[in-house]
């Protein structure tokens, strides 16, 4: 994969070799004309691609059955379960993409960090990371610690059609840092932001320590055959634009640059990020994910205007040919609880907004998705209905 002899490991040490790039290319089995890949390139896909965040999970009875005696993180490290759970919604709903069943703390767990997922709460750390010594002691994941993920991906690829892609994913450093600092989920991320403001050197040291783990996790998935990856910054919406630029964007940019040589699409998504979309696009993804609070055409115009202004101001991150991104989103997950007529009407609305963005030149293409994840109480038949409605557009 990469030269692992450097210590400490930095993102700059993790640029893939030509051999690793070739391995990744040969492992991918999706057709270049798969709808999602065509949409990202700005071509006309055979049908509008669609997948849903959290499409594999608690909304499915088959998921609840297979996981009834298995912990969440344990299932992420069992190749058979990882593959089966990833594939369940693809079979049921005819999704255009499988999203790897995993969790953003999986690479931390694999590296030896004491973390578990507590039912009804989420990831909980044995010891929060709040000191320089704790940051220094934080391990960087090694690819050998992710062999179960690689094996699971092999099982997934064996079953997908060539017009269906596999999306790998990882949590972005800010969201990972918040879990580590808070010790678990937080409503306001106050301890995290207090460290960021009062101990900026410690903050940057933590981000520098996390970024290589994120890169390695993505690289392992890509080299195992993932056709695209999504970088989730779930909690970035709690930041101001100024703070995002200073404390977060440089690390997300480094991560995306580190996987760019593999030539797979990178999707970047966060919740409540309407004011951050332009800056999130500037860090370099091919696709910008948009939550349900901003219409797709409005969001795409905002992104294009922001990137154009940045390019004209000499921002070296934004080249002339990369001022327009594909867009992903953005049906409100609650709409899937509202009945067939509402689902059909709202699916069509989202498609119209996306089409306006493409027609205006503010988006290359559209990947239909929710504006966040499937709610656990969602009827699986409603999800299937939404897929069928959208594929009929």
Q: Give the mean pLDDT of 332-344.
A: 97
pLDDT digit string, tens, across residues 141-160: 999 999 999 999 999 999 99
pLDDT reading at 208 higher than 90: yes
Phi-psi group of 287: left, alpha or beta (phi > 0 → left; psi -120 to 50 → alpha; rest → beta): beta
- Domains of the chain with bracketed CATH: 11-391 (3.20.20.210)
Residues placed in the known binding site: 54-58, 103, 179, 234, 372
Q: Annotated catalytic sites, by residue?
A: 54, 58, 67, 103, 179
- Integer Cα distance of 393 and 391 in angstroms: 5
Q: Give the mean pLDDT of 305-315.
A: 90
Residues placed in the known binding site for substrate: 54-58, 103, 179, 234, 372
pLDDT digit string, tens, across residues 156-183: 999 999 999 999 999 998 999 999 999 9
State the pLDDT confidence band at 258, using cuts at 50, 70 and 90.
very high
> What is this structure's pTM?
0.95
State the pLDDT confidence band at 6, using cuts at 50, 70 and 90.
very low
pLDDT reading at 82 higher than 60: yes
Question: Can you spell out the DSSP letters for 168-228?
Answer: EEEE-HHHHHHHHHHSS--SS-HHHHHHHHH-HHHHHHHHHHHHHHHHHHHHHHHHHT-SE
Phi then psi dihedrals of residue 268, to 5 deg? -125, 130
């Amino acid at each position: 994969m990469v030269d692992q002899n450097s210590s400490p490991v930095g993102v700059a040490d993790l640029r893939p070799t030509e051999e690793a790039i070739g391995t990744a290319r040969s492992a991918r089995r999706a057709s270049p004309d798969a709808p999602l890949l065509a949409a990202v390139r700005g071509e006309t896909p055979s049908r509008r691609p669609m997948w849903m965040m959290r499409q594999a999970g608690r909304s499915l009875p088959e998921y609840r059955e297979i996981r009834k005696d298995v912990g969440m993180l344990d299932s992420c490290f069992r190749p058979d379960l990882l593959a089966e759970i990833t594939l369940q919604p693809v079979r049921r709903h005819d999704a255009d993409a499988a999203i790897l069943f995993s969790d953003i703390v999986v690479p931390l767990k694999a590296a030896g960090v004491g973390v578990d997922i507590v039912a009804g709460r989420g990831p909980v750390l044995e010891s929060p990371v709040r000191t320089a010594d704790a940051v220094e002691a934080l391990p960087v994941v090694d690819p050998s610690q992710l062999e179960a993920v690689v094996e699971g991906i092999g099982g997934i690829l064996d079953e997908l059609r060539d017009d269906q892609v596999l999306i790998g994913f990882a949590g972005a450093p800010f969201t990972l840092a918040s879990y580590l600092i808070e010790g678990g989920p937080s409503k306001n991320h106050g301890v995290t932001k207090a460290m960021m403001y009062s101990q900026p050197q410690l903050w940057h040291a933590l981000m520098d320590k996390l970024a290589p783990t994120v890169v390695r996790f993505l690289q392992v998935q890509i080299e195992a055959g993932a056709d695209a990856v999504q970088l989730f910054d779930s909690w970035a919406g709690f930041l101001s634009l100024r703070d995002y630029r200073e404390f977060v964007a440089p690390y997300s940019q480094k991560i995306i640059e580190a996987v760019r040589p593999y030539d797979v699409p990178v999707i970047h998504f966060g919740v409540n990020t309407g004011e951050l979309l332009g800056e999130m696009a500037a860090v370099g993804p091919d696709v910008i994910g948009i939550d349900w609070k901003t219409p797709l055409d409005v969001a795409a115009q905002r992104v294009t205007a922001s990137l154009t202004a940045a390019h004209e101001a000499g921002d070296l991150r934004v080249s002339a040919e990369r001022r327009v991104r594909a867009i992903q989103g953005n049906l409100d997950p609650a709409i899937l609880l509202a009945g067939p007529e509402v689902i059909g009407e709202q699916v069509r609305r989202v498609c119209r907004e996306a089409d306006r963005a493409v027609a205006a030149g503010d988006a290359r293409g559209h990947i239909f998705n929710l504006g966040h994840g499937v709610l656990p109480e969602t009827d699986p038949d409603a999800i299937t209905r939404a897929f069928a409605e959208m594929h009929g557009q």
